[in-house]
């Protein structure tokens, strides 16, 4: 009688390969240069606020518009959504994060800090790209008509004013 290899014997090399693959080093989490932060744990909650490893961080050098339900008008809500999306996109694309705390917290208990993504300041990037403004003594009015700064421009207070 001629013996043939059993199916278990045929599967052995595949099982060994699978076991070795499971033991091989996995892709390491992207981490910060200064703190032990896995960038997989970074979430933009607002355009100027992030949750990093469960800690709330507010950007020290940028003020972004708020999203619904905190926005005071539709324009601020839309701008706030876009600012949060931009901050999230920049954080997702980064390989390294550096959090430089000012040692202060805001009225909600968030750490106020500069956040560097791959060496680029997130707050500076948001301001330069038009998603945020620099914090100032007088808060920026995201709901004010844009036309007030342009000589002889029509007053646009609502979306319906654009059709005139």
Q: How sure is the predictor about 142, in pLDDT bands with cuts at 50, 70 and 90? A: confident
Residue 72 lies in a domain: yes
Tell how far CA 46 is from the center of its chain: 8
For Cα atoms 122, 58, 103, give the angle at the middle one, nearest 5 degrees: 105
What would the two tokens of residue 153 be?
A: 């421009």
In a domain, 147, yes or no: no
Residue 97 lies in a domain: yes
* pLDDT (mean) for 7-35: 41
Q: Mean of the per-residue pLDDT values for the chain?
A: 76
- The pLDDT assigned to 143 comes to 87
Q: What domain count does the chain have?
A: 1
* Residue 65 within any structural domain of the chain: yes
Residue 110: CATH number of its domain: 2.40.50.90
Report pLDDT digits (tens) over 68-126: 888 889 889 999 999 999 999 999 999 999 999 999 999 999 999 999 999 999 999 99
- One DSSP character per residue, 43-107 reads EEEETTEEEETTEEEEESS-BPPPPTTT-SSHHHHHHHHHHHHHHHHHHHH-S-EEEEEEEEE-T
Tell me, yes or no, whether 32 lies in a domain. no
Q: Is the pLDDT of residue 30 over 60?
A: no
0.85 exceeded by pTM: no
List the domain range (segments joined by +) for residue 102. Answer: 39-136
Q: Is 28 inside any structural domain?
A: no
Task: Measure the CA–CA gap between 82 and 62, rounded to whole angstroms.
Answer: 15
Is 152 inside a domain boundary?
no
Q: What is the rounded CA–CA span in Å between residue 126 and residue 83?
A: 8
User: Which residues partner with 100 through β-bridges?
Assistant: 114
């Amino acid at each position: 009688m001629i013996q043939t290899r059993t199916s278990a014997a045929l599967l052995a090399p595949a099982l060994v390969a699978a076991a070795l693959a499971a033991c091989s080093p996995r892709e390491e989490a992207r981490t910060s240069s200064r703190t032990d932060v896995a960038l997989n744990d970074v979430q933009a909650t607002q355009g100027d606020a992030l949750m990093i490893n469960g800690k709330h961080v507010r950007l020290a050098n940028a003020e972004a518009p708020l999203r619904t339900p905190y926005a005071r008008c539709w324009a601020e809500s839309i701008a706030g959504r876009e600012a949060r999306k931009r901050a999230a996109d920049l954080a997702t694309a980064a390989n390294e994060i550096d959090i430089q705390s000012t040692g202060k917290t805001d009225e909600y208990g968030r750490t106020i800090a500069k956040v560097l993504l791959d060496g680029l300041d997130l707050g500076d990037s948001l301001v330069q790209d038009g998603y945020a403004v620099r914090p100032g003594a007088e808060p920026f009015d995201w709901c004010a008509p844009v036309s007030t700064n342009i000589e002889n421009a029509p007053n646009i207070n609502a979306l319906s004013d654009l059709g005139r």
